């Protein structure tokens, strides 16, 4: 199993319609084959600069690789993530 996580800060003002639209539109990622346990999270700690997180799981490396090249993921990253995310940190985990 692979848990793919990313924490991020948007370029949009906090609480704005643009912020809400980005988060709503990001739900398309949950529908990509192989994505399991998709979550959108609000980051609460003042120990870092990020506001939101996405978390999802994949059964194996093949499912994760297929997600990365899926047209919906590629389009979301190109059209929404790159222009609208100011900063992020991606971490992928595997159980020990």
Q: Determine contact, residues 50/43, Cβ cutoff 8 Å.
A: yes
pLDDT band at 77 (very low <50, low <70, confident <90, very high): very high
Confidence (pLDDT) at 59: 98
Tell me what the mean pLDDT of segment 80-94 comes to.
97
Give all domains of the chain, ordered by start, each with its CATH number: 2-43+62-87 (3.30.70.100)
Share of the chain above pLDDT 70, in %: 100
DSSP string across 17-82? HHHHHHHHHGGGGGGSTT-EEEEEEE---TTSS--EEEEEEESSHHHHHHHHH-HHHHHHIIIIIH
Question: What backbone phi and psi angles, to 5 degrees, belong to 41?
Answer: -130, 145
Per-residue pLDDT reduced to its tens digit, 34-73: 999 999 999 999 999 999 999 999 999 999 999 999 999 9
pLDDT band at 32 (very low <50, low <70, confident <90, very high): very high
Q: How many other C-beta atoms are found inside a 10 Å radius of the C-beta of residue 7? A: 20
pTM of the model as a whole: 0.93
């Amino acid at each position: 199993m692979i848990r793919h996580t990313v924490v991020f800060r948007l370029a949009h003002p906090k609480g704005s319609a643009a912020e809400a639209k980005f988060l709503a539109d990001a739900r398309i990622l949950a529908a990509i084959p192989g994505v399991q346990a998709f979550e959108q999270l609000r980051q609460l700690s003042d120990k870092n600069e990020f506001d939101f997180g996405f978390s999802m799981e994949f059964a194996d490396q093949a499912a994760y690789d297929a997600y990365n090249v899926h047209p919906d993921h590629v389009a979301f990253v190109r059209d929404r993530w790159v222009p609208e995310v100011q900063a992020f940190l991606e971490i992928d985990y595997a159980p020990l």
